[in-house]
Structure 1
Amino acid sequence: MWCSGIFRSLIISVTVFQFVSSNSTFESKAKCCKTNEWIVSENQKLFCNKSQQNRLLLSDSQKHNSTECVEAYNSKVYLFGNQENSFVLKEVFPAVSKCCPPNFYYNHVHHSCAFMPNKTKTLNESFIKIGLSHCNVISDFQFDSTHDFKIANGVLFLPNVTQNFPEYDFCVDDNVDGRFAVRVCRDIGVCENIKCVRKCCPDGQSFVNGSHCLDTFQHGLRFENFSDFMEDFSDDFAIIHGYPATNRVHMVPKPPQFPKGQKSHNNPYCIEHATKNNSTYGHLYFGLIVASSPPMPTKYLLNRAAMILSGIFLVLTMIFYVGTKEIRKVFGKALVSLCLSLLALYIMLVYYTFTSDLHHKKNIVKCKVIGFLIIYLGFCCFVWLQIISYDIYWTFGSIKNVSSNDERKRKAFKRFIFYSLYGWGLPMAITAFSIFFHYFNVLPAPIEIKMGRRRCAIERSDGNYAEILFRTIPLTAILMVNIVLYVQTVKYCLKVKNEIKNMNENALNIKKKKKFFARRERFQLVVKLSLTMGMLYVFEVASSFVDFSANTITSTIEIIWDFINCLQGLFIFLIFVCKKKNILTCKKSATFEKIRKISLSSTRTTIASSGTTKSNINSKIKMETEQHKEENP
């Protein structure tokens, strides 16, 4: 793993080289340890230890029996005294890094090393320290000549750059285009001024057989496959190397957008070349799986709290309708069905916000199941709202034949069965179409349904209109029908209201008036509910076309709007339960229940007392009869 990169950077190659233009000369020193070994310390003793990734290269002509030698130790190259296989640290060895191994030249386009053994060398190689594997952030500079920059006493000076770079914080090499490449270690603060892209492994390394970073040198960063990720990858940018050792990575098929004006990326990610079992996968985009969950954005914390609160009020609404026997009415059953679908939707959404790794590869099936369930339950909410709207329209507008109570109950039950088939079946059919087209992948790219790559929902991207086709348009059709029903109901209300004004005050007409006003009140409640849920629809449509996270103002609007939409359960409770009539009904129900219990208890006591008295009388009569028989045998 790259986390041992700090130590692997000790395995730095050495063979210190000189620039032709530099006045510095270094005496050739032997490498202290054998190939693939470097010096480590244990119990205050220095000795050679094996390394799988040795960046300390040495000419075969140099011997290991010298009294002085050089070796990598504690991220730098040191001069050691060598006495009877015992090493004594003397001083830091003044080594300047070469960016690539011998016979390799730097490719500034791909930020990698290219093998070119026949190319004329500009740099004299005697000792070289290869690469900058210890650097977290690296910037590249290109120069036409070695005279365009200066190295003095191991320190690099660059034109138009105020910062100077010590000998272990830069490397120099020939570029494949004939110029000179200079790479320098930078502080993370450089990303405030230029674009920064994250590479998974340290400099010169890539993924081999999993997320194991090993020296390869020839795989840097290639952005040809990430044109959607970076709008202009020819811009100057710095490379952030590595990811925290406490994190793991998973492959993401399509990275999120990295706009040209954006200097760093908000999502945890890195890009790396990967090979496994001699198969080359090329450069892939990886998301970071954070071991300890990162702080959740305020938006999701607020929405989660609002949905939990809504769920509680939805349960209270259903309890009220069951407890007051309102559920016996078709309207009550339909409203409870709406509450059930909305409650199930909130449960799915809350679970989704509590589970941060659902879109990762190992959870892809669960992610898609939850995603399609959320789509299904969302449709259920709006279809049941349509059913309630239709039921109000039907109640107002249909001609009722006089029938017995049993006949009315039977018809109401049939009507609710039809409503249930429509309310649960239509959303299932729409969702089934989406599932079919998602898994069989027969649609063209502009309307292809993508889910589970970045989120557990139909994913939005430029040029893809799947969400509009499979969600926005069906919701629009449902709500358009609702609007037609509302208009027709309002027309009928106005018509009946005018007729009521001309009615005589007899018992039948008074009963009709009461029914009308009760139905009109229910209609007003449904309109309020529709307006409330319509806000959710409007936001869904708007978010399909507008990126609300683009700036601070729209982002704030999105947070407020989302929070209000997540309070649908509270609004339903306030609209349908918190009415003066319902409060009186609850009080009456409680009072009647108390009176009934007292009456029942009193009745039982009276019956028990009466039974005891009767038993005593019968016993007395029986005794007198037996006594009379004994006296008159």
Structure 2
Amino acid sequence: MKLIKMWLLILLCVDMSATVWINSDSDDSDYFRKCCGKNEILKKVTEYNLTMLEYYECVEVSYANEKYNVSISPLIITKGVEVQNGVPSDCENFKAITINNAETDIYSSDNICYDRLDIEILNGSFVKNIPKTIGLSCNKSEGANITRSSLKINQLRKCCPRGQQFDTEYHVCRESYENYEDGWLKDLNISENYIYEVEYGLRCKLDEYALELTETLFTMTVNNSSLLVVNKSDKEERTFLPGEWCMDRLYNGNGLVAQTCTQDCKGFGAFGLRKCCPQGHHFKVLRCGSFISECVPDRDDSTLFNISTYTDPLRSNYHDLFDVMGIRVGLTCPAGRFGLDTSIPQDQHRLTPDAHLESGWILTNTYCLEMFDRRDCPSHDITITAVLCFQPAPEQSQRKDYRISSVVITISSVCLGLTLIVYCALPELRNLNGRNLICHVSMMLLAFSCLARVQHSAVENYHLCTFLGYGIYFGFVAAFAWLNVMCFDIWWTFGSVRTVKPLRKSASERRRFIWYSLYAWGITVLLTLTMFLLDRYPVSIYLDANIGSGACWFGAVQNTETDWPHYIFFVVPMGIVTCTNFILWLLTARYCAKVKSEVHRLQAGSVGERVKKRFRIDRAKYILTGKLWVVMGAGWVSELLSTIVSDPQWLWNIVDLINQLQGVFIFLILVVKPKLYYVIRKRLGLEKPDAHKNATSSSGRTSSTFLSRTISSDERANLRISRPQSIK
């Protein structure tokens, strides 16, 4: 019996010794082995030559800052923790273990050390790496004393980088030269023994607000890696896990501030709003006179996020409304976004007590506020305004395949090209009216060619997009101008009463074509140049067309208040031209009826037959001009109506298809005619010689537009002089 008790005692002693040696939890045996000493950081070097060489070393903080310009994030260890320094010695191969969270076991041993890895060199090149805490172990001796420690490496996140503190007035980190450990860290008031790895900054999710909680309203306690927040007014408790919170000292103030990520602003009584750019950034205007900008870092205090113009009007009636602020970064707009110009009365806006944005035409919570730096522009100022989302297109429009439009417009462009080739190749067509048509068709071809490219797919290159936009504008304006010339010319032919000098017809037509060219090209260049200059050097949002900015046409959404340049530079001028053409067409119809009655009274004879033939030709020109006016005028009318009424969508799809087929209609009007078919066959040598006679005999019955040499200038003058007074 005594022998059995003795063996049990021996086994108990051995078991207790093993427990102390291998897995002791006694505080007396707890110590933390840190790889590098004070003012040193851990560096990893890896080289791949014939064999891989990998080693770790400790370097001075000052040397690391000077050579690698890295942000040092050391482990924070309280004075109550026993610390030993040193990398395991006489070890050729290390095993590195990343310490991910406080659940990772820590061991006390001479063969294991822990530290922050801030520098990593691979084949002589610095590797940008987020600092991490690692454990280096060396199992050179199987009998080494390895003890599991009761210590844990917890996570602590500082809101601002080293040397900065958080400013709750401007919601940003600002420079402060207060000592790192003697500042915010002492205010945490943690009495227990602890080891913390420190991270910087807070990254909330896209749908979360970063609340700013101060010690005046909340009690905040750090519990390992979590933050316990207690509302002093209602004693409600909230716990935030690692990665959901950060803490820092108040800028130019006493106490701490915590930022916490949450979607529940109302639960904390917070006033939540959006900031367009990330913290510490603002908008830099890329083009003066517009809100086209990019986010850039703050360089001085003048661009701080100052929202006092929005908050001050509310503070007088709601004193505690902004005690807790929640800032959410970014604004996602599928259809694009635009800034409100406070110099325009309808863009005046304000914040409501429930954090909505209100103006005379909208009430929304889908907005963001930001500072716009315009110091490089003539205004030379920095302003803050709201940015809103364009309303997304209707569901039907979103499903519209613009590639089909591109194909239809390309077909129209081919027809316009064929029309242009025919009129340029046949001398019989190059009279005054033919030259007018050539100019008109060539400009339609320019506009439709650029439009086909824009409709095919998105144009990524800004300069190409701008060029195509101005090509579309110049082509359509010039086409309208030349149509106006043709309407005026036919009115001049029928309705003018003037003394005609006995000049050669070719010289008279050449002079008229020069005057027509000066008018058509002059007004087109004037409008395009004016719009270009106001686009590049804007003086008002009403005159800033934004060609190429977000769209290759006018950079605004149709049917909105931002579409004024589209009306001013295109809809209204083309409307004036279209109405003028219609008036000229009606006047010409009136004169045509009068001339027709007088022509029928002429007796048969050489002059009478020529006058009748001349009348038929001019009437054909009048009818052709009317057809072109209908084709072009229908496009303008639909353009105007679409700015007023946008439904039903299927109707506008049909109207768009008709407009896209304008080139086909022009080809049918100008080219697909029997007389022109004969001339083309004759030019190609496909017509028999005796066909000319038949064609000539039937020419009086055709509606061709190019037989303007039938009557001489002298005979036309005599005809006009001999007209009865009632026709004048």
Give TM-score scaled by structure 1 length.
0.59
Residue deviations 1:300-345, cap 9 Å, x none?
A: 5455444433221111111222445442332221111111122223
Q: Partner amino acid for 1:168?
A: G
Please name the residue that 1:292 is paired with: none
Deviation at residue 27 of structure 1 after TM alignment: 9.4
Name the CA shift for 1:501/1:40 in 2 (closer, same or farther; >3 Å). Answer: farther
Q: Tell me which of 381, 387, 411 is aligned to 2:508.
A: 411
Deviation at residue 103 of structure 1 after TM alignment: 6.6
1:390 and 2:488 correspond: yes
Please name the residue that 2:719 is paired with: none
Name the CA shift for 1:110/1:349 in 2 (closer, same or farther; >3 Å). Answer: farther
Conserved? CA contact 1:199–1:221, under 8 Å: no
Whose helix proportion is higher, 1 or 2?
1
Please name the residue that 2:623 is paired with: 524
Please name the residue that 2:25 is paired with: none
Name the CA shift for 1:179/1:303 in 2 (closer, same or farther; >3 Å). Answer: farther
1:379 and 2:449 correspond: no
Match runs of 1:568-607 below 5 Å: 568-579=662-673, 582-583=676-677, 586=680, 593-595=686-688
Name the CA shift for 1:503/1:512 in 2 (closer, same or farther; >3 Å). Answer: same
SS at match of 1:313: helix
Q: Tell me which of 145, 168, 174 is aligned to 2:243.
A: 168
Name the CA shift for 1:355/1:518 in 2 (closer, same or farther; >3 Å). Answer: same
Please name the residue that 1:65 is paired with: 85
| Greater CA drift, 515-524 or 313-322 | 515-524
1:241 and 1:463 map into 2 onto residues whose CA distance is 20
Please name the residue that 1:11 is paired with: none
Name the CA shift for 1:101/1:403 in 2 (closer, same or farther; >3 Å). Answer: closer
1:308 and 2:401 correspond: no
| Greater CA drift, 529-538 or 449-458 | 449-458
Please name the residue that 2:155 is paired with: 95
Deviation at residue 167 of structure 1 after TM alignment: 1.4
SS at match of 2:305: coil
Please name the residue that 1:329 is paired with: 431
Deviation at residue 489 of structure 1 after TM alignment: 1.4
SS at match of 1:424: helix
Please name the residue that 2:441 is paired with: 339
Conserved? CA contact 1:170–1:184, under 8 Å: yes
Deviation at residue 539 of structure 1 after TM alignment: 5.6
SS at match of 1:222: coil
2:43 and 2:139 map into 1 onto residues whose CA distance is 15
Match runs of 1:142-541 below 5 Å: 142-143=212-213, 154=225, 166-173=241-248, 180-184=257-261, 199=277, 222=305, 238-239=328-329, 261=364, 263=366, 301-349=403-451, 356-359=459-462, 363=463, 374-398=472-496, 407-434=504-531, 447=543, 468-496=567-595, 516-538=615-637
Residue deviations 1:39-80, cap 9 Å, x none?
A: 658569573695534251456998781664342588575352
SS at match of 2:155: coil
Give TM-score scaled by structure 2 length.
0.53
2:301 and 2:35 map into 1 onto residues whose CA distance is 26
2:173 and 2:673 map into 1 onto residues whose CA distance is 76
| Greater CA drift, 334-343 or 444-453 | 444-453
Residue deviations 1:2-25, cap 9 Å, x none?
A: xxxxxxxxxxxxxxxxxxxxxxxx
2:688 and 2:483 map into 1 onto residues whose CA distance is 38
Match runs of 1:3-18 below 5 Å: none
Q: Partner amino acid for 1:56?
A: S
Name the CA shift for 1:174/1:271 in 2 (closer, same or farther; >3 Å). Answer: same
Conserved? CA contact 1:311–1:569, under 8 Å: yes
Name the CA shift for 1:36/1:520 in 2 (closer, same or farther; >3 Å). Answer: farther
Q: Partner amino acid for 2:412?
A: S
SS at match of 2:160: coil
2:672 and 2:300 map into 1 onto residues whose CA distance is 70
Please name the residue that 1:47 is paired with: 56
Name the CA shift for 1:459/1:598 in 2 (closer, same or farther; >3 Å). Answer: closer
Name the CA shift for 1:331/1:298 in 2 (closer, same or farther; >3 Å). Answer: same
Deviation at residue 396 of structure 1 after TM alignment: 2.9
Name the CA shift for 1:40/1:448 in 2 (closer, same or farther; >3 Å). Answer: same
Name the CA shift for 1:343/1:585 in 2 (closer, same or farther; >3 Å). Answer: same
Q: Partner amino acid for 1:383?
A: A
Please name the residue that 1:112 is paired with: 172
1:175 and 1:558 map into 2 onto residues whose CA distance is 59
1:345 and 1:299 map into 2 onto residues whose CA distance is 20
1:130 and 2:236 correspond: no
Conserved? CA contact 1:142–1:179, under 8 Å: no
**RMSD of the TM alignment (CA)?**
6.1
Name the CA shift for 1:222/1:215 in 2 (closer, same or farther; >3 Å). Answer: closer
Deviation at residue 512 of structure 1 after TM alignment: 5.6
Conserved? CA contact 1:140–1:181, under 8 Å: no
2:611 and 2:117 map into 1 onto residues whose CA distance is 98
1:447 and 1:95 map into 2 onto residues whose CA distance is 55
1:45 and 1:149 map into 2 onto residues whose CA distance is 44
2:657 and 2:649 map into 1 onto residues whose CA distance is 12
Name the CA shift for 1:282/1:157 in 2 (closer, same or farther; >3 Å). Answer: farther
Name the CA shift for 1:164/1:513 in 2 (closer, same or farther; >3 Å). Answer: farther
Name the CA shift for 1:152/1:181 in 2 (closer, same or farther; >3 Å). Answer: closer
Name the CA shift for 1:261/1:523 in 2 (closer, same or farther; >3 Å). Answer: farther
Report the count of equivalent residues: 513
Q: Partner amino acid for 1:409?
A: S
Please name the residue that 1:616 is paired with: none
Structure 2, unaligned stretches of length 5 or more? 1-29, 47-51, 59-63, 87-109, 119-128, 141-145, 264-271, 285-293, 311-321, 342-346, 348-356, 376-380, 386-397, 693-728
2:212 and 2:40 map into 1 onto residues whose CA distance is 32
1:462 and 1:113 map into 2 onto residues whose CA distance is 38
Deviation at residue 465 of structure 1 after TM alignment: 5.3
Conserved? CA contact 1:253–1:453, under 8 Å: no
Residue deviations 1:463-517, cap 9 Å, x none?
A: 8955555545443433332122111012223434556787889997776666545
Match runs of 1:33-44 below 5 Å: 37=41, 42=46
Name the CA shift for 1:96/1:402 in 2 (closer, same or farther; >3 Å). Answer: closer
1:464 and 1:598 map into 2 onto residues whose CA distance is 58
Q: Partner amino acid for 2:188?
A: L
Q: Partner amino acid for 1:380?
A: A
Q: Partner amino acid for 2:686?
A: E
1:139 and 2:209 correspond: yes
2:513 and 2:366 map into 1 onto residues whose CA distance is 58
Please name the residue that 2:288 is paired with: none
SS at match of 2:261: strand
Identity rate, percent: 21
